[in-house]
Amino acid sequence: MIGLGTWPMDDTEAGAAVLHAIDAGYRLIDTAENYRNEEGVGQAIARSPLARSELFVTTKFNAEWHSYDGVRTAWRHSIERLGLDYIDLLLIHWPNPAQGTYVDAYKGLAKLLSKGKVRAIGTSNFTQSQLTELMDATGVVPDVNQIQHSPLWMRAEDIAFHEQHGIFTQAWSPLGRGAVLDAEPVTAAATAHGVTSAQVVLRWNLQHGASPIPKSTDPERQAANLDVFSFELDAVQMAAIDALDGTGPAPADPMSFGH
Among 150, 99, 97, CA closest to 127: 97
The CATH number of residue 16's host domain is 3.20.20.100
Burial letters 108-128, b for 16+ CB under 10 A, else e: bbbbbbeeebbebbbbbbbbe
Whether residue 207 lies inside any domain: the answer is no
Whether residue 170 lies inside any domain: the answer is no
Amino acid identity, residue 212?
P
Domain span at residue 29 reads 4-142
User: Rounded to whole angstroms, how far apart are CA atoms 7 and 135?
Assistant: 29
Whether residue 176 lies inside any domain: the answer is no
Whether residue 219 lies inside any domain: the answer is no
Whether residue 90 lies inside any domain: the answer is yes
User: Rounded to whole angstroms, how far apart are CA atoms 5 and 216?
Assistant: 7
- What pLDDT score was predicted for residue 84? 97
Number of domains present in the structure of the chain: 1
Q: Are 190 and 199 in contact (CB under 8 A)?
A: yes
Whether residue 64 lies inside any domain: the answer is yes
User: Rounded to whole angstroms, how far apart are CA atoms 113 and 131?
Assistant: 17
The residues, any chain, with a CB within 8 Å of residue 111's CB and separated by 6 or more, are 68, 71, 72
- What pLDDT score was predicted for residue 96? 98
Task: Check if 68 is active-site.
Answer: no
User: Rounded to whole angstroms, how far apart are CA atoms 102 and 94?
Assistant: 9
Whether residue 222 lies inside any domain: the answer is no
pLDDT tens-place values along the chain, 259 residues long: 999 999 999 999 999 999 999 999 999 999 999 999 999 999 999 999 999 999 999 999 999 999 999 999 999 999 999 999 999 999 999 999 999 999 999 999 999 999 999 999 999 999 999 999 999 999 999 999 999 999 999 999 999 999 999 999 999 999 998 899 999 999 999 999 999 999 999 999 999 999 999 999 999 999 999 999 999 999 999 999 999 999 999 999 999 999 9
List the catalytic residue out of 35, 68, 86, 106. 35
